[in-house]
Structure formats: structure tokens, C-alpha cells
Amino acid sequence: MKASLSTLIWVFVVFLGTSTTKINQGKEGGIQVKNKSHQVNSKKYIIVVRKNCPKRTLEAVTDFQNYIVKITGEFPQIVNDKPSGKFKTIFWIGSHEQLSKVFPRKKFNLSQEEILLMSDGLNVLILGEDKDELGTGSATIRNRQLDDLQYSYGTINAIYTFLYDKLKVRWFWPDELGEDVIRMDELNFSPFEYRFEPPFKARSGLFYLSGLGRNYPESNLDQWCKRSRLFYSSEYFDPGHGFSHWWETYSETRPNLFALTEKGNRKPIGSGNTAKLCISNPEIPSLWMKDVQRLTLTNPFVTNFNGNENDGFIYGWCHCDDCRKIDATQRDLELKRLSDRHVYLVNQFAQELRKKYPQNKNFHVLYFDYGYDRPLPKKYILDSSIWTVSVSNFHLNRMNDLSVKQPSVEEYLGWSKISSAIYWRPNLGNPVGLQWGLPDIAMSEAFEDFAFVAKNKCRGVSFDGFPNHWSTQGPHYYVVAQLAWNPYAQKDELLNDYYTRCYGPASSEMREYWELLESTRALHLKKYGPKAGRFSIGETYTTEVFQQLYILLDKAKKRTKGTSLLKYNKRIKFVESGMRFTYLMVTIRREMETYEKTKSRESYQKIKSNWEEIIKLKRQMNPLAINFNFVKPWVPEAKSEYKRRMKGMVAELPVSVKERIELDMEAPNDQE
């Protein structure tokens, strides 16, 4: 006899500015080699780092030291010189003047971000490309002054690669429960040599809530991103808009900098940060260069400069005769194709940049193929020093195989053919409830997407954006983090490792659980599409689907009973809390469909009651399970961005038939 959905669900266990730049040549600060933990220094293992090891690298060395303790129980001392006495393993981390003696006939010249891991049986080298000769410095990033920044962080990424590949440490999500360490009585290293250069040189924007200067409340995400080799990458690009401050700065003194809009004046349609430019105004390149100069003074590490016009691409463009002459045809504005206009602009920026900084060959201007700038230019050719930021939204949004022609994929391919390099910066949107915290996941497609862009000139990624709902989207986050480091990672190998290490004896049940969610989501997207499809989730996430999910979780919990399996059981309950949340959210959306048609008091009360259950659940859940900064039932008090995000999920913000149709009729590449 089948149990009812409500019975199955309710028997769940609810688990639940500006600053002065400072460059410190050779003054990075020494290390403290005292054992402050009162542990006995290991006689088997010791760590050697050079004097004046940069602070951020030393932090990673200390993290490495702590993992040796977790794995072996041995406390390896950190020293500056080759140790005396006999050791089983000597870990040489980073550059050191004695490396040529320890590893004779080996070359240590590394390419950008390349890492080198090797051993002769006694000595183990963990080395990455670091620009030590440039010292360290301070910079203002996101209006925050940061100290002890480095020009590169190769050794840090080499440390975490060694921990991941050689010592098999795993970080499934950003807390202690998400960490998995295999205890070993002894570490043994046969001679080996491993070199790897990650194809993507910009990775810190993959999780946009993390990163230098972000100061997001969930600081543990930064640590997880460091260990996943995302946080510290050798390149960075601003994924936003380059002129958002111009209206406030110049509107009174230089009004002709701004677009003559469809309303016949030079005022922005909307807020000042959406004000478009009059591209034909000859002052723009020199004023842009002033912004660049200010930026380089406050951030000596910057190499990429934003040329992206302000947001709100459906309105406010310049209609003046001079700007229309720049366009490829007189109908470009009506045809919603302004790429020639903006290629013309960024080409001028590139010329200005070369004049001002002729010695800096690694300086680049960024062109964004976004909104009306997506079509390929017909009249102008991109300067070779311009790199394209592709806002091609096929990740989590495509309904077909990559081999099938679809606008966003064709768009990416087109720009890759005419650009020196590509940064991939998709808007992920909210296709099947990604922002709402639903299991909007596509791990299998991620392997295809990352390999595809890597083969087509991609050198960096920045996504807008993953909202940090770890109990419902965790496997997808883990997979894309690994692929950002190595986009050619083998799917079966990585996923087999994930399920086995994360869930132990319940790996098969939990794999089936996540694959059921993945396939259900894929079917839904194919039927309803990525625009308004989330409003129909009640049609796909049925009673039968939730019953199957519950049965799998119940079996998984039974397989992980007992003290020795406690960590696996806790991880399953962490996931279970996300399923409980998913069920309540789907129930709310299903009831919202009724309320949007009838406005009945009964539906209103059911919606309110389910939100009250979610609020109760929130108090019991692991804070990482669902990021309630993105899920706000208290919409009347929320910011406008959250009101837009929660539309269709609270009675105060119903979605109309007209709004759903308008979403479905949007250009296929565009997201909210």
C-alpha cells in the first residue's frame, strides 16, 4: 500500500574608495617556526619554506601543516633551511635557493599558473609559478583596502592540488561536515613528477559571493574557494559595467557625454547607473583613460579594463546622427544590434591604453557581448589587445546537446573566432528555481560546457551566479569548481569519487537520488524552457517524484547507521533538509498557480502556512543548507532585487499570464 505524500514528507527527520599603493620589494615578512600548539614536532615529516615567504602563501603552508596532522597525527615543523637529521619526508614548498641542489638537473621555470609536484622518494617538491621578484602590495578592491596581495599564487594552488590529488583530501562543501580526510599511519612517496597548467587563468568569479574584497557574510566560502583553487587566480576581470558612476560624475558638467535617447533628451531612462553614452563624443576615450589611471593607482595588480556600457540594454541608446553613422547600417538600432558601435568604442580605448602604457603588453580592454552587443560586428574588427567577455547563457539554460545549433552556443563560437581570447561570464538566471534554492542542477552538462569553452579560447570564468544553496545544489557546485581548475576532468572518475567519498556505504542510493533530481530537472527544462519554466515546477515535481526521493534517502540513512558511519549519516540528513525545503517550495508554487487564477482566501492561507513551515525549518537547518539571503518570504520589507527574484512565490507578488508570455518571448540568449 502506497503512503500518501504528506505522510512520507512529514515523517522526515528535519535536520536539520581610494588608497595609496604600497609595494614591498623583498619585505614580505618572515615565518614563525615555533610550535605554539604544544604538539611534539614530528621526526618523520618536516616542511621547508624560504625566508620571507609571502603571508598568503604561508597561510596555505600552515593549512597544509594542519592537514598532515589530521591525516597522520604527526606535527611537521616549518623551517627555513634544509633540516639536519633523518626524516622520512621533507616537504619543500615554494621557491627556495637550495632547490637546484636538492633536485639537480631539474628546471623550475614555470608558465603562467603552472604547478610542479615531484618527489625523489625523500624530498617532495610543491611549487607553483610565483612572481616573487615583484614582491607583494596593497590594493583597493571593491572599495576595501587589502594588504599582502601577491602578483601570483601558484604555490598556493600547488599546495591544494597536492592535498587533493596525492593526499586525497576532499572539500564537498564549506564546513567541517563537508570535509573528508583519510587517516594514514604513514605517508610514502615513490618518485614521481607532475606538471599542470590550468587553462582558465581567471577563476575567482565562479562563485561571485566569494573573492578578494567581497566581504560576504559567509566567509567560509572564501576558504572553500581557496582550497578548490578558485579564489587565487592570476587574472581577474570585472564582470559588471564600466560607466555606472559617470552620470553622477559628469551629468552636470558634460551632459553631451550621454545618449540622446528615444525620448529626445540626454537623460537616462531609469536610474543614473543605466545611462548610456553618446559613443561619437570624442571626449569619452580620454575620460575613460582617467578612470584607468585611477584604477592602476589603487590596484597595481589590475591588467584588464572594462569597456562595457551600462546595464538596461533594452532602452536608452543614443539616437543622434553621429552615433548612427558609426553603426554598420542605419537600421542597426531598430534591429537591436549595436556591436559595431561598441567595437568602435573599445578599439579607441585600446589605442589610448597603448599610448599611455606602451610597456605593458599584458594590458587588455574588455568587450562584452551582452544584450544588443551579441551579434557579430560587420563594419569594425576587434583590436588584437581586446578580449571578449562572452555573456552566452547556455550553462544551466540549454535544452539541447551542444552539437545542436542554438543561439547562445553559436554566439559563443562566433565571438571566439574573431577574438584573441574569451572570458566566459554567463547569467545563470533562475531557470528551474536556481535562485529559489531548488535542485536546479546539471552536472553531466557541466562537463560538456566547460570542455567546450576551454577548446574555444576561454581563459577565464565568472558566473552570475550561484546562490550557495548547498543542500540542494551542492554536487553541481563541487563539479564546476573542479572543472574550473581542469575543464577536461573525466566525468565518471570525478563523480564516482564524489559519491563514494561523500556518502560511503550509501553511495549508490545517493547517486540515484541526485541523478533523479538531475533528470527530472532536465525533463522540466525541455518541456517548459528556461524563461518562465520555473513557474510550472508543480507540474514536474510530482507526488511520485517526491516519493522516490524519500525512499532513496530512507535507504541511504539505514545504510549509514552506527557510530563509525556517523559522518555519512549526517551528510545525508543535510541533503534531506534540502529535500524538505524543496517540497515546501514546490507546494507553495503549486498553490500560487491556483491563487493567481482565483485570488481565493483558502489558497492565500495555504501559501502563508507553508512559508511559516519554511521559516521554522530555517531555524533548524545547517546555515549552509539554504542561503536565505536569497529566499525571502518577507517580501514587502525586502529590497527590489529580492522582490523580483521572489516573484511568483509569495501572494503579494503573483505572476500574471501576460508576464509569463513576455518572459517566454524574450530573445533566447537573454536572462533577467
SS (HEC) of 72-84: HCCEEEEECCCCC
Share of the chain above pLDDT 90, in %: 85
Residues 6+ apart with CB under 8 A from 594: 600, 603
Predicted confidence (pLDDT) at residue 550 exceeds the cutoff of 70:
yes
Sequence length of the chain is 672
CA–CA gap between residue 58 and residue 65 (Å, rounded): 10
The average pLDDT across 457-474 equals 97
Give the residue, 564 or 670, on which the prediction is more confident.
564
CA–CA gap between residue 501 and residue 170 (Å, rounded): 8
Note whether 494 and 482 are within 8 A (CB).
Answer: yes
Mapped onto helix, strand or coil, the DSSP state of residue 448 is helix
CA–CA gap between residue 593 and residue 112 (Å, rounded): 53
Helix (H) or strand (E) holding 299: none
Predicted confidence (pLDDT) at residue 149 exceeds the cutoff of 70:
yes
Residue the block writes with cell 641542489: 101
- The alpha carbon dihedral of 242, 245, 250, 256 has a sign of positive
The confidence score (pLDDT) of residue 671 equals 34
The structural domains of the chain, ordered by start, are: 5-13+500-664 (no CATH), 23-202 (3.30.379.10), 246-491 (3.20.20)
CA–CA gap between residue 8 and residue 551 (Å, rounded): 9
Q: What angle do CA 287, 288, 290 make, to 5 degrees?
A: 65
The pLDDT tens digits for 428-465 are 999 999 999 999 999 999 999 999 999 999 999 999 99
Predicted confidence (pLDDT) at residue 12 exceeds the cutoff of 70:
no
- What is the chain's percent helix, strand, coil content, to nearest 5? 40, 10, 45
The average pLDDT across 594-614 equals 96
From residue 467, alpha-carbon distances to 145, 208, 216, 625 in Å are 26, 9, 12, 11
The pLDDT tens digits for 108-129 are 999 999 999 999 999 999 999 9
Residue the block writes with cell 594514514: 184
The average pLDDT across 203-230 equals 89
CA–CA gap between residue 615 and residue 617 (Å, rounded): 5
Residues 6+ apart with CB under 8 A from 346: 307, 365, 366, 367, 382, 383, 386
CA–CA gap between residue 611 and residue 150 (Å, rounded): 46
CA–CA gap between residue 416 and residue 526 (Å, rounded): 27
Predicted confidence (pLDDT) at residue 492 exceeds the cutoff of 90:
yes
What's the whole-number average pLDDT of the chain? 91
Cβ-defined contacts of 322-330 (< 8 Å, 24+)? 322/278, 322/280, 323/259, 323/260, 323/278, 323/279, 323/280, 325/280, 326/279, 326/280, 327/379, 328/377, 328/378, 328/379, 329/378
Note whether 350 and 385 are within 8 A (CB).
Answer: yes
Angle between helices 55-72 and 154-165 (to 10 degrees): 10
Among 648, 653, 538, 522, residue whose Cα is nearest residue 587: 538
pLDDT band at 217 (very low <50, low <70, confident <90, very high): low
